[in-house]
Chain A
Amino acid sequence: MSELLTVEDLTIGFHDADPVVEKVSFSVRSGETLALVGESGSGKTLSCRAVLRILPRAARIRSGRITLNGSAGRTVLTALSERRMRAIRGDAVSMIFQEPMRSLSPLHRIGNQVIEVLNLHGDQGTKAARKQVLDTFERVGFPDPERAYNAYPFEMSGGMRQRAMIAMAMVAKPEVLIADEPTTALDVTTQAQVLGLIKDLQRDTGMAVILVTHDLGVVANMAQHVVVMNKGRVMESGPAPLVLGDPAHGYTRKLFAAAPAIPQVANPAPAPSHHDLILDIRGVSKTYTMRGASWKAGATVQACRGIDLKVPRGKTLAIVGESGSGKTTCARIALGAELPDPGGEVVFAPEAGGPTIAVHAMDRAARTAFQRKAQMVFQDPYSSLSPRMRVVDALTEPLEIHRIGNRRDRRDKAAEMLAMVGLKRDMLYRYPHAFSGGQRQRLSIARALTLDPALLVCDEPTSALDVSVQEQILTLLEEIRDRVGLSYLFISHDLAVVARIADEVAVMRQGLVVEQAPPDTLFHSPRHPYTKALIAAQPTPDIARPIDLRLVSQGAGAPSSWPEAFRFSETAVPALAELAPGHKVRCHV
């Protein structure tokens, strides 16, 4: 079988700077999936956008040839006029973008947006086009296509919107589908379902898929061919079993070493001891009142319900859950940034046996004392450092606020903290924008550490980073914990990330902790359907372990679809039962 789409010696550059994509070649056949793997800045997105010629304005294709050898004969896409290119886009070659929240127009009904593709390319009548759209909706898994047709994007969840995007890309029956990180913005269970959908559609229509991703796990589940890119160059390319099974290039090996994974075999761990607690969260709920119209009371939303969590000194407690599960609310309450509903208590003990601070009822002085001992690391390294402050100003600020030491002391402390996170002292006088994401995350860790806290709350500290950097940051956090005796409350959506760092994991769903155990116990014998789904949905970079979609769809649905023993609703919630020592599950026993 001949190649459907061939890219040869593609070089792309901005203005007259060095090329950002250099001599990249790949090809894909009908019915096959090619994965472009790489970290941010590797040029993978530019390479695939070049196929559709939708590059940023300043970017130019300097050399190379892109050939489409489809049913309409052989066309060289790089030499096509803009007018004829438009006929290709969305028809022969279509694309799915990363952000389902932003790639649909909020003012148009989903159906109208999808049918537009047919109006542009097809020549069938409105009725036939509408029928085709409805068929496609059914194919991508909308339970009620008619309703989806008339829905506006804001009525749908992220996963549903991504389905609508896929429908839009699929409706004209393209020969090549380019999916640019189609699942990165989605929760892991939704990701599994969307990947499964793309696979099914490919099997039915025999289209070729170019999948752009940074996740080797996704690659292992989807691709027949892999192209590994780094800094605009192809590092390694070949059939997936070979590249994934026995990586030959140093960079591929590094990626593999860094990829977080849930261990395949795990032994149940002993129950964690809860005698010396640094943070004790008891019976915490949080209800938000949505602002309604002034003449009627606002609706209430429960962000979290009856949370009991204990962080032992020197240990790490991880909270795992998808977006909207209430994990960030928990973290904010733990740090006193929000007050729990009456009845909830948060007790913080900075020193073993020492005086405790009631975080839920702090006055100004207690708050100041608390803030010296409990700090936070944020998610986005790009927005967590003020662009106007030099590193030294950012690092000495906490000391300045708490009036510790004089200028000199503060500067020395800042330098010491830099050394602790592996950066050199001469970085002190630089501006944050000179640093990469990983370096900035180190800086914000250093800033959180300048007050010598006892507890660090990490709110998804690695989810905005590349895998290899993520691995470095996790190692750094572990090192610091062991050196200084820190305790962590670690928030993450990624079970594999917490697998290595956490001593205990609490899985949250819809504001409730559904299962809580040490990670190994959890991986060995997950009891709750949602935990099972989370574990099953985690893509592993191993071709032999594909995602079990059945398990995922069983647990990822609404709580009412779970087996009787686990079901909960707004009002009736089963208690958290300790099934084995240290292993709690929310179920009716």
Chain B
Amino acid sequence: MSTLPDGRYIDDAPFDPDENINRLDRADMDAPNWLLVWRKFRRHRLGLLSGAFLLFSYLMLPVAGFIAPYTPAERNADHLYAPPQAIKLFHEGRFVGPFVYPRTATADLENFRWTYETDRTRPMPLEFFCEGSEYRLAGLIRSDTHLFCAPQGATVFLWGSDRLGRDVFSRILYGAQLSLTVGLIGITVSFILGIGFGSIAGYFGGKTDWIIQRTIEILRSLPELPLWLALSAAVPSNWGPVAVFFIISIILGILDWPGLARAVRSKFLSLREEEYVRAAEMMGASSGRVIRRHLLPNFVSHLIASATLSIPAMILGETALSFLGLGLRAPAVSWGVMLNDAQNLASIEIYPWTAIPMLPIIVVVLAFNFLGDDLRDSLDPYES
């Protein structure tokens, strides 16, 4: 700063009146939208962690059979309702490596329950990459190698066994295959319907919008749970588990789309006012082109976030139906089907581990919610 004789202050840093109009104003913003979103999302720890966990869970699905020590229907008649078993490393202060103590079951005829006695003298090391019962990797490749299994004469029930002596841990892994994918299929159905109707309503407005809106309101006014029950009760009982599974996920999708259609519609209404959309119309772009090239890309990220937030509802829906015995049925394995076993209070009181399938449900649902929330926060990367 310098002062002129007349008392004015003047900045004396060099000043160039002709600014280069080719200089980028915000070079850091010169990136596709997904990169900007990722940069912002990276700062959300919880969302990142949840995302990584979910990614891991989904990647694990095809190889669940390899990780699980047992197959889902494998019965161990001598170990009904066996409590969870710990894997230990040290026997009497000496390092042995991962091992289990063998257990023997005795029938307690006074209380009518099984009691287990652990033999703490014989550590039995776990076997790795061992042969066990046969399963299919990703449903295709036959294999009988398991990551770990119990040595001859012992069992490895990490989270206990159920009333037929099946390993709860293994069944949770297998159950994840259905429970986690039901959300994906359901959301796909819901997406197709929601985006379709939502964008038609939002873009064309007028009568079309009115009809779709009223349809949505009617669908939403139907009581949800009885409708689910009715629809799933209508599935013929002689259908195979896979067919039932698809039908269930499609039912969930059909009932979920109105919410999404509303979100899409309101987003469309606001995006339609953007000048780039008006510009495209002025250029002569057809409605289809405007929707595909301008509107959809600009809110696809919002859709992903809202999808992430509605997958938990699907998972919970499947669980609820199966728990009531109206969704998937044995021999299919899903978390809801497993919880079906934990329906009466007595079994939860005496064998609390039969309710363990609740844990993965809670964790997965929370993870989806954290991920979705943080995704939503990072969706608008343009404001700094």
Contacts and interface: CB of A to CB of B under 8 A. Distances in A.
Interface stretch (A128-136, A203-211, A263-271, A368-376): A368-376
A367 B282 CA distance: 10
Given A251-B15, A442-B21, A384 B276 contact: yes
A122 interface: no
B152 to A, nearest CB: 61
Interface residues of B, number: 41
Contacts of A394: 276
16 contacts: A234-B1, A234-B11, A235-B15, A236-B9, A236-B11, A238-B8, A335-B282, A375-B283, A378-B279, A389-B297, A397-B283, A422-B22, A431-B29, A431-B31, A433-B382, A472-B21
Interface string A421-454: 0111001001101111011001010011001000
B74 interface: no
A36 interface: no
Most A CB contacts (10 A, CB to CB) among B24, B30, B31 go to B30
A385 interface: yes
Interface stretch (A214-222, A242-250, A345-353, A541-549): A242-250
B278 to A, nearest CB: 7
A253 interface: yes
B274 to A, nearest CB: 5
Interface of B: 1, 4, 6-11, 13, 15, 17, 21-22, 24-33, 36, 274-276, 278-285, 289, 293-294, 297-298, 382
A404 to B, nearest CB: 12
Contacts of A371: 282-284
Contact of A424 (B9, B22, B293): B22
B32 A451 contact: no
B279 A447 contact: yes
A375 B31 CA distance: 29
A235 B28 CA distance: 27
Given A433-B29, A434-B30, A378 B278 contact: yes
Given A433-B30, A436-B25, A235 B11 contact: yes
A285 interface: no
A324 interface: no
A386 B271 CA distance: 10
Contacts, number: 128
Given A387-B33, A439-B25, A444 B279 contact: yes
Contacts of A250: 15, 17
Contacts of A385: 276
Most A CB contacts (10 A, CB to CB) among B7, B274, B278, B279 go to B279
A435 B279 contact: no
A145 interface: no
A398 interface: yes
A453 to B, nearest CB: 10
Nearest to A369: B284
A83 interface: no
Given A375-B282, A398-B283, 6 more contacts: A243-B8, A249-B11, A387-B298, A388-B298, A427-B22, A435-B26
A484 interface: no
Contact of A253 (B17, B21, B282): B17
A379 interface: yes
Contacts of B33: 387-388
Contacts of A389: 293, 297
A383 interface: yes
A188 B68 CA distance: 76
Contact of A386 (B10, B36, B289, B297): B297
A371 B21 CA distance: 30
